[in-house]
Structure 1
Amino acid sequence: MSFDPMAAVVDWLDAYRSGDLESILGLYSDIATIECGCGGATTLNGREALRAYWEQRLRDYPAADMDDLQPARDGVAVTHRCRGSSVRADFEFDTAGQIFFQKCGPSN
């Protein structure tokens, strides 16, 4: 069975929209990095930093509808609605199919 990065990003957005912290964290590698430009630049590394980030995101910035999903240079990009704004998130995956890098920020 082959890995489908587009399906993985849909799973990520579904978990985000439902507020399922453990499912979200399960999609990331233990050494994942997030670069978030939503409301100020932040770079996070590792499991504990991701947990704190996602606890706050789920509480303060719940996700809504998906606007777009497409292959990107090194992975997949998704644009979705969050508190009335459009956010783009780009994902790169490791060989095990887990997210090892995510960059997000306001969609231009």
Structure 2
Amino acid sequence: MSFDAMAAAIDWLDAYRAGDLEVILGMYAEDAVIVCGCGGTKTVAGRESRRAYWVDRLIKCPASRLDNLQQSGDGALISYVVRESVISAVLRFNATGQVSAHTCGPSN
């Protein structure tokens, strides 16, 4: 991988914390899939579905501070605080540095 996955994960969290929907959406590959285990498991695929997912997340679950960051294979494991809980997300990246898969849920 020719880019820094951990730096890309921090950029992702910074955009999330700032509520910058367009930057967040621009970080995802066209065929990216989100599997979210927050409040029940849901799978999100497609541009408009990702947009709807993120509009909802930004309103209901704004992120605050970084809790943990680790390398994870071809991506990064990033944990962050949402309201009073910690969420962990694994972000996988494609060869161009876009998020190709995003799996998240409450930290145990």
| TM-score with structure 1 setting the length | 0.96
- Are residue 25 (structure 1) and residue 11 (structure 2) matched? no
- What does residue 39 of structure 1 align with? 39
> Partner of 2:24: helix, strand, or coil?
helix
> Partner of 1:86: helix, strand, or coil?
strand
> Partner of 2:32: helix, strand, or coil?
strand
Cα deviations by residue, 1:64-98 (Å, 9 ceiling, x for unpaired): 10010001134100010001101000011111110
- What does residue 12 of structure 1 align with? 12
RMSD: 0.8
> Partner of 2:29: helix, strand, or coil?
strand
Report the CA distance between 1:100 and its aligned residue: 0.5
Distance 1:29 1:99 in 2: 6
Note the residue ranges of structure 2 that are not aligned, 5 or more in a row. Answer: none
Cα deviations by residue, 1:25-84 (Å, 9 ceiling, x for unpaired): 010001100000000100011111100000000011100100100011341000100011
Distance 1:46 1:77 in 2: 23
Distance 2:29 2:98 in 1: 5
The runs of at least 4 consecutive aligned structure 1 residues that moved more than 6 Å come to none
- Are residue 48 (structure 1) and residue 48 (structure 2) matched? yes
Amino acid at match of 1:81: V
Note the residue ranges of structure 1 that are not aligned, 5 or more in a row. Answer: none
Distance 1:63 1:99 in 2: 18
Matches within 5 A, 1:69-88: 69-88=69-88
Count of residues in Structure 1 that have an aligned counterpart in Structure 2: 107
Distance 1:31 1:94 in 2: 10
- Are residue 96 (structure 1) and residue 107 (structure 2) matched? no
Report % sequence identity. Answer: 52
Amino acid at match of 2:88: R
